[in-house]
Structure 1
């Protein structure tokens, strides 16, 4: 059975084919906070580098990622820390 990080990676690669995707589960750092669950898999840091972000502002990039991950939010994912870049951006 896939864990949430695997499903997040699959969803992001489906939305942004060929993207560079890095995912870190930070749920342990949020124990006791809003949205945290004892089993974890609620808080993630995600880095996506894709040409699809070229010409998009920060808000549009974030909306695109959140749309791609809507099913995971519906299934209990609580928070994402995002680093969203086009190739060549610092």
Structure 2
């Protein structure tokens, strides 16, 4: 399992987010091709309700403690509640309804 998958699985399991993006930004840095050392995380969860930004970041860092100590060089965090996300960006994009595919 790669580092990005580990990050995703740990955050999904711990925070049960309504929205999660884990983006490997290593290619933007002076690292070997295929590296997994620089990540951006966008996470929206009700667990952040009433929490200050520093506490949200501490909570994510605690969940990713092993990765931060051993694998990750840089981690950009964007942490939101659902109402904060909606105020800034609107609703989450919705997937279109299935048109039946091969059943048509």
**TM-score (normalizing by structure 2):** 0.75
The size of the alignment, in residue pairs, is: 84
In 1, Cα distance between equivalents of 2:73 and 2:53 = 20
Q: Which residues of structure 2 form unaligned runs of 5+?
A: 89-104
Higher relative contact order (CA 8 A, sep 6+): 1
**TM-score (normalizing by structure 1):** 0.86
Contact 2:41 2:77 in 1 (8 A): yes
Output the aligned Cα RMSD.
Answer: 1.3
Shift of 1:18: 4.0
The answer to whether 1:54 aligns with 2:64 is: no
Q: Larger Rg: 1 or 2?
A: 2
The answer to whether 1:28 aligns with 2:23 is: no
Q: Which residues of structure 1 form unaligned runs of 5+?
A: 32-36
Deviations 1:23-77 (A, max 9, x none): 110001111xxxxx42510000110000000000000000000001001112221
